[in-house]
Amino acid sequence: MEKVPFRRYAALLSQYLKPLKYRVAFLAVFMFTGIGLQLVNPQILRYFIDTAKDGGETRNLIIAGCAFLAIGLIRQIVMLVTTYMGQDVGWRATNEMRGDLAEHCLQLDMSFHHEHTPGEMVERVDGDTTTLSNFFSEFIISILGSFILLIGVIILIYREDWRIGFALIAFVIIALIIYNLTRNIAVPIYTSEREGYSKLFGFLEERFTGIPDLRTNGGIGYTLDRFYDENRDVYGRSVKAHVMGEVLQTISGVMFTLGFALSMGICIYLFQRGDFTIGTVYLVIHYTRMLRGPLIMISRQINELQRATAGFTRIEELYSINSVIEDGTESLEKHNTHGIEFDNVSFRYTDDEYVLRDISFQLQPGKSLGLLGRTGSGKTTITRLLFRLYDVNLGTINMGGKDIGTLSLDELRNRIGLVTQDVQLFNATVRDNMTLFNSEISDKEIHTVIDELGLTDWYQSLPNGLDTLLEGTGMSAGEAQLLAFARVFLKDPSIVILDEPSSRLDPATEQRIDQAVQRLLNGRTSIIIAHRLGTVQQVDEIMILQDGSIQEYGDRNQLVNNPRSVFSGLLKTGMEEMIQ
């Protein structure tokens, strides 16, 4: 795995820390004060020891003792504030980053989301940023603070005697080099651990979503089997990562013991020569012991840095995936119904076969098109292209006379309302489910739509009106469909796409839905993908797709009156002929 140059961390740090500069400054002041106080205390102790040994005045000893106590106390408070500020800055920065990442993911193409499960996204947006957040919040305090403390200690020891100063500098440098070397060994192990988890979460997410299918098909046992496999895999990766962490700790412990022995040896030698007083020996030993904190901290943080590197690389990777679908700038005329025109459109999801071939049709503003065809013939795909969830491979699609590739995506998607085969309900209130979290839509508008759709009975059965959480109300497929209609009504688009569910609804609900459809289509350009002939009774044009090509396309009335047309054949034999 590639090593992340420090420059890239710095860029990331400064991007997210700049807006927090006052907090960072405050944090720095407290941190430096804390370090200063930590360095002063041993000096007081040396004075105390040497004064006591030379039979100095008791008054001076008491003053020194009080100063020692006071400084110790103040240091604790300063450290508390520093920790608080460090966490504060760290979390603010990472929350910002988490937001940016989530936004980025939501805007990525459908083709990307097909390849990555929601669970994997969660692990990326949350898991990876959390490791980075530790890095952020600890970085300044721990690594930077430790380095400064380290340098302070070395300077002060050096001032006592250059020989011991040099010995300890050499020790610290060797220690840091060894830490840095271990970094390269550890990073791939941590990356692999994270990847294991993200695979596991992805697996779980997908299986939980599919519980009804799994259970009814007796797939639970097999799923559990696979789950154990995945778990074992994560276990292996995790154990490796943790053992690696321990190894790094041990290396640090052994190194420190050697450093301490070195310092003691030199101190004894200098004391015997009479260069050091007993107070100075104490001071140097104390300072040497103080090296331990920052060195362990740096080692742990390098550890942390390694985890962060893994998270960082993956976050950068995610950021570097750009939408293939480029945003346009053009906009459509307001308050208008727009026509749709497909001009020799061909499309394929992957590099194999074309799913749509040479599709051409022209739908005038306000007209409706009924789309029929066997399952898998490409009906839904046509609507996805219109939304620009995917871009066409060949040909062009025009809307309101403009190539949809040149339109702004927001504009395009706002102008089209879609009711799909499976309605995604969110675990939120009825209001949020209808408005899709758009708080600008007033309750009055929602009530109007509920009345219009004939959902009043259902609405009155809700315990808390619009504030009812949808989760517990157990909506039927029909009601969910109606709710999806409500969404489109509230959006008030100029083009409507209806991808009818193939499942059968009870006749009463079917009738309500038909009514809703008629209201919805009124004055709008529409494409209706129908699995029942009843739904296309009112449309203007009919297109029948077969394996991605147009089998028949024309004015509905003409097709009905033409006994040789496929559509009139369908009307005679029923839709089931074709659908099965």
Q: Does the protein bind ligand ATP through residue 279 (CB under 6 A)? A: no
Stretch that binds ligand ATP, among 170-178, 209-217, 285-293, 372-380 (CB under 6 A): 372-380
Q: Does the protein bind ligand ATP through residue 580 (CB under 6 A)? A: no
Nearer to ligand ATP, 331 or 346 (CB): 346
- Site size toward ligand ATP, by CB under 6 A: 12
Return the half-sphere exposure (C-beta side, CA atoms, 13 A cut-off) of residue 525: 18
**What SS3 state is found at 351?**
coil
Q: Does the protein bind ligand ATP through residue 501 (CB under 6 A)? A: no
- DSSP lists the bridge partners of residue 343 as 396
- Count of CB atoms within 10 A of residue 167's CB? 18
Pick one of 41, 87, 380, 546: the residue that binds Mg ion (CB under 5 A).
Answer: 380
Stretch that binds Mg ion, among 341-349, 372-380, 434-442, 519-527 (CB under 5 A): 372-380
Pick one of 249, 331, 346, 380: the residue that binds ligand ATP (CB under 6 A).
Answer: 380
Return the half-sphere exposure (C-beta side, CA atoms, 13 A cut-off) of residue 315: 26
- DSSP lists the bridge partners of residue 541 as 369, 555
| The entry of ligand ATP, Mg ion, none that residue 482 binds, CB within 5 to 8 Å by partner kind | none
- Find the binding residues for ligand ATP in span 77-116 (CB under 6 A): 114
| The entry of Mg ion, ligand ATP, none that residue 194 binds, CB within 5 to 8 Å by partner kind | none
Q: Does the protein bind ligand ATP through residue 355 (CB under 6 A)? A: yes
Q: What minimum distance in Å lies between the beta carbon of 256 and ligand ATP? A: 56
DSSP codes of every residue in 360-383: EEEE-TT-EEEEEE-TTSSHHHHH
Residues 6+ apart with CB under 8 A from 412: 328, 387, 388, 399, 404
**What SS3 state is found at 143?**
helix
Nearest-CA neighbor of 37 among 63, 68, 80, 81? 68
- DSSP lists the bridge partners of residue 345 as 359
Q: What minimum distance in Å lies between the beta carbon of 556 and ligand ATP? A: 20
Tokens for 462, please give them. 């809700």
Q: Are 126 and 98 in contact (CB under 8 A)?
A: yes
Q: Does the protein bind ligand ATP through residue 378 (CB under 6 A)? A: yes
Nearer to ligand ATP, 352 or 440 (CB): 352
Distance CA 267, CA 275 (A): 9
Report H helices in 54-161.
58-107, 110-115, 118-122, 129-138, 145-160
Pick one of 134, 381, 494, 526: the residue that binds ligand ATP (CB under 6 A).
Answer: 381
Q: What minimum distance in Å lies between the beta carbon of 1 and Mg ion? A: 41
Stretch that binds ligand ATP, among 136-144, 359-367, 379-387, 408-416 (CB under 6 A): 379-387
Q: Residues, the chain, total?
A: 580
Q: What minimum distance in Å lies between the beta carbon of 456 and Mg ion? A: 31
Compute the C-alpha angle 188/194/196, nearest 5°.
100
Residues 6+ apart with CB under 8 A from 315: 97, 101, 124, 128, 129, 132
Strand ordering across the sheet containing 416-419: 416-419, 495-499, 525-529, 368-373, 541-546, 549-555
How far is CA 163 from its chain centroid? Answer: 53
Site string (324-353) toward ligand ATP, x via CB under 6 A = -------------------------xx---
Stretch that binds ligand ATP, among 84-92, 204-212, 377-385, 535-543 (CB under 6 A): 377-385
Q: What minimum distance in Å lies between the beta carbon of 449 and ligand ATP? A: 27
Distance CA 375, CA 372 (A): 9
Distance CA 143, CA 324 (A): 40
Residue with tokens 């097709």: 559
Nearer to ligand ATP, 241 or 527 (CB): 527
Q: What minimum distance in Å lies between the beta carbon of 318 and Mg ion? A: 30
Q: What minimum distance in Å lies between the beta carbon of 416 and ligand ATP? A: 17
| The entry of Mg ion, ligand ATP, none that residue 439 binds, CB within 5 to 8 Å by partner kind | none
Distance CA 51, CA 45 (A): 10
Q: What minimum distance in Å lies between the beta carbon of 222 and ligand ATP? A: 24
Residue with tokens 């420090």: 6
Q: Does the protein bind ligand ATP through residue 535 (CB under 6 A)? A: no
- Find the binding residues for ligand ATP in span 187-206 (CB under 6 A): none
Pick one of 376, 523, 534, 574: the residue that binds ligand ATP (CB under 6 A).
Answer: 376
Nearer to ligand ATP, 216 or 350 (CB): 350
Q: What minimum distance in Å lies between the beta carbon of 421 and Mg ion? A: 6
Distance CA 534, CA 537 (A): 5
Q: Does the protein bind ligand ATP through residue 373 (CB under 6 A)? A: yes
Q: What minimum distance in Å lies between the beta carbon of 331 and ligand ATP? A: 28
Q: What minimum distance in Å lies between the beta carbon of 468 and Mg ion? A: 31
Nearer to ligand ATP, 486 or 529 (CB): 529
Residue with tokens 């005038």: 364
- Find the binding residues for Mg ion in span 179-198 (CB under 5 A): none
Angle between helix 278-320 and helix 58-107 axes, rounded to 10 deg:
10
Residues 6+ apart with CB under 8 A from 63: none
- Which positions touch Mg ion (CB under 5 A)? 380
Which residues contact ligand ATP (rule: CB under 6 A)?
A: 114, 349-350, 355, 373, 375-381
